[in-house]
Amino acid sequence: MSNIETVVPRTTFKRSSGVLLHPTSLPSQFGIGDLGKAAYEFIDFLEQSGQVWWQILPLAPTGYEHSPYTMNFSAFAGNPLLIDLERLMKEGLLRQEELKPLPNKDRVDFDQVVPYKTQLLELAYSRFKPDTLFEQFAQEQAYWLDDFALFMALLEAHEGEPWTKWETPIARRDPDAIREQKEKLQTKIQFYKFSQFKFFQQWSALRDYAHGNNISIIGDVSIYVCHNSSDVWANPELFKLDPETLEPAFIAGVPPDYFSETGQLWGNPVYDWPRSQETNFDWWIKRFQATLQYVDVVRVDHFRGFEAYWQVPAGETTAMNGEWVKAPGVEFFETLKEKLGTLPIMAEDLGIITPEVEELRDRFEFPGMRILMFAFDGDPNNVHLPTHYVPNSIVYPGTHDNDTAIGWWGKASDQEKQNVLRYLGHDSAEEISEIIHWQMIHTAMASAASLAIIPLQDILGLDHTARMNDPSQNAGNWRWRYLSSEMLTPELSKQLLELTEQTNRIAT
């Protein structure tokens, strides 16, 4: 028997709970959630409700369809759409009359929000005088910020055309061409650095407020990055690209799974892991270090990709005709541990999980995820049934990829509903249809998992229209938001607090 197999994972988290909510889903006057007043009010709600964790999705700036996982322009940068415009006004960079509220809708209208906030950020930059704090930020973050700011300036200069369509010397980063573009686009480059400075300045203040209220933040590292990103443009050798066109030679995804009969084809290039090994995983180490500058724990999305990943030849229209390729997970996490000292990591271990993936997870004592919505297929050995939970795990009623509890219940088969009723000790679906979200929340909170994370949509009792992402659909995701902080009522806070106390999840 190997050493890996004999490891008994310790419990990473004290018994506690928290709420899943991406900042774009917060209320605001400007069409999208931001790092302003509502974010602070949300932290107040968490503290008053006995919660000690706020889980977010990746904070990266997003492109096509605004997925924070697959379509972002940088794995290091923050999303400028989250910048609080009212704080810029208080700093004298904007004026009250320039801040015209957008219609308050429960869906982000990116076609309206992006140009609106961009022109106001540009206006704020035109009044900004670089100071010592800005210069310090630019120097400390130069290892990613310089490439990102230049990439975004070039992307704008090329009217959004992907970098592989740019002039060859720029696409292939000829030093003379890069030097020329830096001089030519200096003002735009500084604007993008300013936007990042303001984003991280505001996020740092919000995180400090969270810590002051005993709230820690769980962030997210999506394993893959977008091909049309500063990451791939600046580090093409780390990815499997066609040497002639620099387009992806293989595309990332997963074979048929819970969410799709033809699998999921994400569109991202896959990594050339041997090249990363040659650099002692330098880019990856910097990525985790950067993430831990603004969150407390990292959820590693698609964790199984560090053991083996599914690659599909470029040009395929589904993910079915791919193959599993081994990845150097043990070597990578050993190296990461040497650099960081500790590994505040939780593993998204959903989908096709093999014993090798479980061994990798348990070797480093990473807690895995359990999803109640996957539990009631009638299989008594289903790992998502609370009966099988170990303390070193995180339970969710559903994640950002699932429907809300009420939406899920409305579409569940009769057999699945009967399985739920038997498990919960109820006689009829009518008995619990109105309270199924609280039934799921209670089941998660009462389980043996040391950490329970509840989507805010379920606490609010919202239906399928509040779903954040449907992986079987490419368009229209990532847009849900709640309309007012008044929805976080004292009564709701009291109900959540009492349940947290009853299930012994008040962190001490």
Catalogue the active-site residues: 301, 348, 401
429-437: long-range contacts at Cβ-Cβ below 8 A with a sequence spacing of 24 or more? 433/409, 436/405, 436/406, 436/409, 437/397, 437/404, 437/405, 437/406, 437/461
Which residues partner with 347 through β-bridges?
300
Ramachandran sector of residue 469 (left: φ over 0; alpha: ψ -120 to 50; beta: rest): beta
Three-class SS of residue 2? coil
Who's near 14: CB < 8 A, 6+ residues apart?
A: 450, 507, 508
Who's near 250: CB < 8 A, 6+ residues apart?
A: 240, 269, 270, 311, 312, 313, 314
Q: HSE (CB half, 13 Å, CA atoms) of 88?
A: 27
Residue 380, phi then psi, degrees to nearest 5: -65, -15
From 182, 372, 491, select the one nearest 174 (Cα to Cα): 182
Residue that the structure tokens 């270090």 belong to:
289
From 328, 334, 360, 330, select the one nearest 347 (Cα to Cα): 360
Q: Going by DSSP bridges, is the β-strand pair 250-254/308-313 parallel, antiparallel, or unpaired?
A: antiparallel
